[in-house]
């Protein structure tokens, strides 16, 4: 297990000047509250996957890729994120879900629930995702935190969801989101899955909300799937600036999460399934496998090599299952065997410092 904040001085030295040079300030959203005292993460949070999680987002809409029923999602995807929840009118902070039956060829609520149950019978997990590019859910006070927790739990009981995915891309209050998630866990129990899909900017400084949430609620978070796309260049844990679309971008930025206290099994790499699924940052699956090799075993690295082999990561995420379907599910068919297989034998760490 990695102790919290072993590299806090290094990470906190990402200076304002360096961020400004990289052109990062305009995209950032500082957290509203200072972080609480750190707690050592628990040994396990939610469920675990033998080979690792292959997370895919399922579209509850037709965006021109293709439409699918949950029952059509290949078994390679053992974690399905339903995109997305909606705001519950009249309930600040509350969420609901409205199946887009008309856009999905007449897919009914009964069929949707049956497909979720069938996926779960195979050992797979299904979570409801909150946010996305167009989603705005505000949790900024105790009332909204309570409403978020209560309505999320209502959806879990109604549809059978195993948990919630936080994909808020327009600002988040770390203090009250943590309060909401802890309240939800008190209702749902320790098997609750809590996943997150922060953007790369969200871990560029310890004052940012997602960083604070991961740091303060690491004992209940299952998986953090960073979106390594639609990003531009960002700072790595070594304070170098890395361009999206490269192996180094994945490894040097994932290093931030691994060094700030998250366990390796809580860290996932999020990439688009095909070039058309994102505005930028697509990488072929072979690059993702190289990044896994580098982070887990310090082999197949690019210019950046981590100071240690971290061991098995939590997995890989993609936007999205639907986009992957347009390419014959080549993303899943390439990544799943790597997740299920053994990582390469670790290379010895350097005698000192970080490359």
User: Active-site residue numbers?
Assistant: 169
Q: CA angle, corner 256, sides to 255 and 258, nearest 5?
A: 60
Identify the DSSP state of 265: G
Identify the DSSP state of 230: S
Phi/psi at 326 (nearest 5 deg)?
A: -70, -15
Do the beta carbons of residue 183 and residue 144 sit within 8 Å?
no
Q: CA angle, corner 310, sides to 46 and 301, nearest 5?
A: 125
Identify the DSSP state of 354: -
Q: How many CA atoms lie within 13 A of 347 on its CB side?
A: 13
Element (H, E) at 58: strand 53-59
Do the beta carbons of residue 161 and residue 58 sit within 8 Å?
no
Instruction: Report the C-alpha gap between 73 and 98 in whole angstroms.
Output: 20
Instruction: Report the C-alpha gap between 63 and 319 in whole angstroms.
Output: 13
Instruction: Report the C-alpha gap between 227 and 223 in whole angstroms.
Output: 13
Best CA proximity match to 300, nearest among 347, 244, 230, 355: 347
CB neighbours (10 Å) of residue 257? 25
Considering just the CA atoms, what is the radius of gyration of the chain in Å? Answer: 19
Phi-psi region of 106 (alpha: psi -120 to 50; beta: other; left: phi over 0): left
């Amino acid at each position: 297990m990695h102790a919290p904040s072993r590299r806090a001085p290094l990470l906190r030295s990402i200076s304002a000047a360096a961020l400004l040079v990289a052109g990062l300030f305009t995209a950032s959203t500082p957290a509203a509250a200072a972080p609480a005292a750190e707690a050592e993460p628990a040994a396990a949070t939610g469920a675990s996957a033998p080979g690792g999680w292959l997370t895919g987002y399922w579209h509850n809409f037709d965006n021109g890729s293709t439409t699918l029923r949950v029952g059509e999602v290949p078994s390679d995807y053992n974690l399905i994120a339903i995109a997305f929840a909606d705001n519950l009118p009249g309930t600040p902070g509350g969420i609901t879900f409205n199946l887009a039956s008309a856009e999905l060829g007449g897919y009914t609520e009964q069929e949707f629930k049956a497909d979720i149950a069938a996926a779960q019978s195979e050992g797979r997990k299904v979570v409801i995702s909150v946010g996305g590019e167009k989603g705005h859910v505000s949790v900024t006070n105790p009332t909204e935190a309570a409403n978020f927790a209560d309505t999320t739990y209502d959806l879990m009981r109604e549809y059978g969801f195993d948990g919630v995915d936080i994909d808020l891309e327009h600002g988040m209050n770390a203090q009250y989101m943590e309060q909401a998630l802890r309240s939800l866990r008190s209702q749902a129990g320790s098997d609750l899955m809590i996943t997150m899909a922060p953007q790369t900017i969200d871990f560029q400084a310890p004052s940012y909300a997602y960083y604070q949430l991961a740091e303060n609620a690491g004992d209940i978070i299952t998986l953090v799937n960073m979106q390594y796309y639609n990003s531009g260049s960002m700072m790595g844990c070594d304070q170098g600036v890395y361009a999206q679309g490269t192996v180094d971008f994945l490894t040097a930025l994932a290093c931030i999460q691994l060094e700030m206290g998250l366990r390796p099994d809580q860290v996932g790499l999020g990439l688009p399934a095909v070039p058309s699924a994102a505005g930028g940052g697509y990488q072929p699956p072979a690059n993702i496998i190289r990044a896994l090799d580098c982070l887990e075993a310090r082999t197949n690295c690019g210019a950046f090599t981590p100071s240690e082999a971290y061991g098995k990561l939590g997995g890989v995420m993609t936007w999205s299952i639907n986009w992957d379907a347009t390419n014959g599910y080549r993303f899943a068919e390439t990544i799943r065997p790597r997740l299920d297989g053994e990582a390469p034998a670790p290379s010895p760490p350097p005698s000192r410092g970080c490359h």
